Structure 1
């Protein structure tokens, strides 16, 4: 299938949109060192949003890959990871801020560098939140797609450089979502060079969910979250749908 919508985020770029239920959203990294920080909300009621602790606890994991789902704080599935050639995506590392970006890559500002200034994840995500009538109080911990972070036995988080060039991950929206994205460095990336990898976002119609769906059957907790989602969607359907 040909994507009905496609946009490429250059390094430091940001983007957000409401995306309907039943879409495939494919993220593709154009180079190594890519990191796309993503926040997810239920579009009709953004007070329901991606919940990192519940998603990890329910699926007994500390990272995301194909078969995992991104659960809301209401025990429903916002999106599923249906395909993944990267193999590991970090849910724990958070996002960069202005002070950290200046310290690691050197001070820049729009006033001096114009569009060449180096954005932080916090700034990008905040701007996109405001576009949808949300505020920094609505900020949560993002999923850092294409970044690998492992947790040592003592709790230390360690960034693992990995080749992301040409790798992709596909999300299937299980309800209408608000997707907020920032192509900014992972805060634990030790490199002193601001990443130069673009990330493409392509949206197309998803295939119907089948009985043997990998995400539904990943674990009992996933199935319960899907059932919660299906019930909520059915109750909100119009008479002619």
Structure 2
């Protein structure tokens, strides 16, 4: 049964949430930094473990080791690329965007933030980021959405790409978590509606994600459902695996927020 709440109830609920959010955000030992500089620094050749260029419409998956960094870069023009991830040692543990948002009191994932698993552990740290334009609310495209939008009976889409990747990993479609869409400038307006804010993008954007556990990571390079371009026009996206190096004791992502520190404590406890 649907219960219609009054404007007063909605306002009171919002006030309570904002008060809790304020307390959560104030308990942050470090201020988060600004955006990373453009262009991206060259990666020394001896630090490149693998480089993959994912064509528009396609997918790719890889295993990453703890402390390796994945640089995802728009070297060939704009595209939104979605990702999901599983703990390589126990693939029942997977990316969890609702917890990522809830524990950090924000949907704005940018440099200094972390991405949690459904076990309260940190899967990724965002160590570099030029846009902050990443969507953890809407999710990826489906066959129905791309067929309706682009007027074709079939076009490659996020959901089907992840089903293929999961199958190759011996997983089922039920094992696919909600996807994080990189370079998707989705925001929420005052009325609670999603909108696409292209002004957040900077051209040859990139993001670097440090792995905080051994993982299987799958990518899908397909248009985002809210992308206003009426043409199916995903450009190739480059993903570079960078060799692991131990983070410093005062590493920003590990010490910026109380929630991140608790998440890394859970990582350490699980490793015992």
TM-score higher than 0.5: yes
For residues 33-57 of structure 1, give each alpha carbon's deviation from its aligned partner in whole angstroms, at most 9, with x where no partner exists: 3111100111111111111111111
Unpaired stretches in structure 2, ≥5 consecutive residues: 1-43
1:222 is the counterpart of 2:260: yes
- Correspondence for 2:78: 33
- Correspondence for 2:13: none
Whether the 8 Å CA contact 1:28–1:201 is kept in 2: the answer is yes
Distance 2:149 2:65 in 1: 38
- Correspondence for 1:188: 226
**What is the Cα deviation at residue 89 of structure 1?**
1.1
1:208 is the counterpart of 2:211: no
Whether the 8 Å CA contact 2:66–2:244 is kept in 1: the answer is no
Distance 1:45 1:167 in 2: 32
Whether the 8 Å CA contact 1:10–1:197 is kept in 2: the answer is yes
**What is the Cα deviation at residue 63 of structure 1?**
2.3
TM-score by length of 2: 0.79
For residues 119-160 of structure 1, give each alpha carbon's deviation from its aligned partner in whole angstroms, at most 9, with x where no partner exists: 011110110010111111112211100111111233211112
Larger helix percent: 2
Moved more, 100-109 or 82-91: 100-109
TM-score by length of 1: 0.89
1:231 is the counterpart of 2:237: no
Whether the 8 Å CA contact 1:8–1:198 is kept in 2: the answer is yes
Distance 1:195 1:56 in 2: 30
Whether the 8 Å CA contact 1:31–1:165 is kept in 2: the answer is no
- Correspondence for 2:92: 47
- Correspondence for 2:149: 104
Distance 2:163 2:270 in 1: 29
- Correspondence for 1:21: 66
Paired residues in the alignment total 226
- Tell which structure's C-alpha radius of gyration is larger: 2
Whether the 8 Å CA contact 2:221–2:234 is kept in 1: the answer is no
Larger strand percent: 1
The aligned runs of 1:161-172 (5 Å cut-off) are 161-162=198-199, 163=201, 165-172=203-210
